[in-house]
Chain A
Amino acid sequence: MDCIASFASQTYAIKAQKALSNAAILSRVIKLDGEKSKRGCAYGVEIPCSLLESAKKTLERSGIRVRRYYRGDTEI
């Protein structure tokens, strides 16, 4: 299963993807749906859940603010 990090905008999602890519973490920018996009169109990055912890550390080190993390549809 993939985990998802959601961001304030698509720009931040692309920035996050680049930071993850530099840390050799494969991810993909996606448009969020359902509960994850309650305020309308929203973007996030899909990450393998097995790499979630190192992804979290990478994003924190890069100063990229993550709105929420999800495992599937569940906020974590």
Chain B
Amino acid sequence: MIYFDNAATSFPKPLSVYREVEHCIKNYCGNPGRGSHSLSRRSAEKVYETREKIADFFGSPSPENVFFTYNDTYALNMVIKGLVNEGDHVIISDMEHNSVYRPIAALAENGIISYDIFDTMCLSHLRTPERICANIRRLIRRETKMLIATHVSNICSAALPLREIGELCRAHGMIFVVDAAQSAGHLPINMAEMKIDALCAPGHKGLYGLQGSGFALLRDGLLPFPIIEGGSGVNSLMPEMPEVSPERYEAGTLSVPCIASLCEGVEFVKSRGIDAIHEHESALYRRLSDMLYSLPEIKLYAHNHVGSTLLFNIDGIPCEKAADLLDRRGICVRSGFHCSPLGHKTLGTIESGAVRVSFSPFNTMRELEFFYSALKSIICEK
């Protein structure tokens, strides 16, 4: 089996991740923050170690500003809904996943906020950070509270210039929220240097944790209102959630095995080196892009952006059928709209959907050769 659906969730995970999860479940999986006994303490220490690793990895000095969620969508919802107030205006990009688009659209539908969408110029050869920022600047109003941007699209490899957008947000007093679903573990991110106020990411994609892991990392002093309340292990006699992060945002029992897996996943990325990972995935991308470009029946989208994700269609074969034919040949890809209607509209694939290939450091050039042969046989049989 060849797995090219790493943008959905990475597979396989590093061996160290499997080992740590087993070790955790067998040896120290107590309930962190819920007792003073040794098992609870060991769990809590592992959770804290993971906070430290994540904060350090993303350029934050404050491990306590990392709060864990079940996935990126939960993190984004908690940050967005915990920070906006009635009458606020929000700006989002035209490449946002539904994890941003839907909460924003729902808040607008309920009359709480208004929003605008900026043009990321993904298909334009005139695309520069300055021009993207100019597109944002045109949308800023006095009541604009927040800008939310995906770092890298989930349907192509287009990346947004976070540093420049961060500067712009800081200059206009806007909260800068970044969805790092497709970039965490693939590209360097430094919250302080990029002036990011809140970074949300899944644990189970480029950071190689288990599904069920995700987090948000807040800048010092940013305290969203908690939208989920419950047991937190501290101030238990009070009706309200604690005032401080992370316990303010972690109602209910944390998944220690998931968090432990994330701890090892981050360590894997650090030890392999994020530049080396990016270079490996980009080399795969370039090779596959060249292969597919040689086939006249293949239409590639936004392939001027090099990274880990490539989008295409086969002339005369619906994307779902193409993915099914690849699956029959032992290749896992994802077809359809990828929970990204804004992105597909931007790339011109909103009517058809498309086939997405996404890499991890475990993919090889040899797998690409197999994929290419499979694709050619599908085209021949059409």
Contact = CB atoms under 8 A, between A and B. Distances in A.
A and B physically associate: yes
Interface of A: 8-12, 14-15, 18, 29-31, 38-43
B106 to A, nearest CB: 31
12 contacts: A9-B233, A10-B32, A10-B233, A11-B63, A12-B64, A14-B48, A31-B35, A40-B234, A40-B238, A41-B234, A41-B236, A42-B234
Taking residues whose C-beta sits less than 8 angstroms from the other chain, chain B's interface range is 20 to 34
B237 A39 contact: yes
A62 to B, nearest CB: 10
Contact of A43 (B45, B51, B64, B234): B234
B353 interface: no
B41 to A, nearest CB: 7
A57 B233 CA distance: 28
A15 B33 contact: no
Given A9-B242, A11-B246, A42 B235 contact: yes
Contact of A14 (B45, B234, B237, B244): B45
A8 B234 contact: yes
B234 A9 contact: yes
Contacts of B246: 9, 11
B275 interface: no
A73 B233 CA distance: 22
Contact of A12 (B32, B41, B237, B244): B244
Nearest to B37: A31
Given A9-B242, A9-B247, A15 B234 contact: no
A18 B236 CA distance: 25
Contacts of A11: 33, 48, 51, 63-64, 244, 246-247
